[in-house]
Amino acid sequence: MMANNWRTKKEIMTNYGYSEATFYNRCKECSQLPDYRDAIIHDGGQRTYVDENKFQDFLRYRSEQYRKRMLDPHLKEGK
C-alpha cells in the first residue's frame, strides 16, 4: 500500500475487477473531467498511479450521470 491512498494500476485492476482496457478507458474518461483529472498520476511513461479517494469521487459522479440518463423521461421533466 502506498501513501496518500495512491494505488498502482495492478491494485486498481484487481480491487475493481477491471480488465486493462477498462482501466485505461476509466483513466481516459477521468482525465477529461477537470474536477477529477488529478486522480490519475503519470510518473513518466512507465507508471500510472491512481489517487483512490479522488477516483472514487469520479466513479460516484459517473454513476450519477448514468442514473440521470436512465431516469424515466416523464420524471426528467420535473427536474
Q: Whole-number mean pLDDT of the chain? A: 89
The C-alpha cell at 1 is: 500500500
Q: Which of 42, 41, 70, 38 is nearest to 57 (CA)?
A: 38
**Model confidence over 43-57: pLDDT tens digits?**
887 889 999 999 999
Angle at 12 between CA 54 and CA 46, to 5 degrees: 95
pTM of the model: 0.81
DSSP letters spanning the chain: --GGGEEEHHHHHHHHT--HHHHHHHHHHHHTSTTTGGGEEEETTTEEEEEHHHHHHHHHHHHHHHHHHHS-HHHHTT-
Binned at pLDDT 50, 70 and 90, residue 69 comes out as: confident
What is the pLDDT, as a whole number, of residue 74?
Answer: 65
Q: For 18-40, what is each residue's pLDDT tens digit?
A: 999 999 999 999 999 999 999 99
